[in-house]
Amino acid sequence: MKVSHDLGRLDWSLCGWTPEYWRLNRAVETGTVADAEVGPIPAPVPGSVQTALRRAGLLPDWNLGLNHRLCEWVENRHWVYTATLPDAWVQPGRQHRLCCLGLDYVGSVWLNGREVGSFMGTHTPHAFDLTAGLRPEANRLAI
């Protein structure tokens, strides 16, 4: 029997990093954010980095005047969304897949500090097998 879970119901957080720095301090593996330039801030999924930053008061309304210039720094960071999967979702002996209708534009998916896949292309469905990397509890997903 196929069971689906809505990851949009999880408490996602977002951190912004100097490009590639999140890899160096193992933030994805440990869940630490001490060296992130931005965050953690709440980030609804589905959603966008810019919208989460605006809701957190870190970006002005880019539609007003020349405010778009104050937002250009966002594109020069690497953004990591993280959430903890509920333990009840993990069912031993079953295949677990993360299915995304669209991710923008290029990145990777990590589970418990290990990369489980990468993606490229906007508005393209992607699926990632999480089965081998799942633990009985406290599974941390990062995109």
- Degrees (nearest 5) of the Cα angle 19, 25, 28? 85
pLDDT tens string 8-55: 999 999 999 988 887 776 655 555 556 789 999 999 999 999 999 999
Main-chain phi, psi angles of 132, to 5 degrees? -65, -25
8 A C-beta contact, residue 45 and residue 82: no
Cross-strand bridge partners of residue 110? 115, 142
Per-residue CA distances from 131 to 91, 95, 120, 121, 136 (Å): 10, 5, 22, 24, 11
Cross-strand bridge partners of residue 79? 16
Q: What is the DSSP letter of 81?
A: E
Question: What is the model's pTM?
Answer: 0.90
d(CA 45, CA 51): 11
Q: What counts of helices (H) and strands (E) characterise the chain?
A: 3, 8
d(CA 106, CA 135): 27
pLDDT tens string 64-107: 999 999 999 999 999 999 999 999 999 988 999 999 988 888 99
Residue 12: how many other CB atoms lie within 10 Å: 22
d(CA 56, CA 69): 18
Cross-strand bridge partners of residue 140? 84
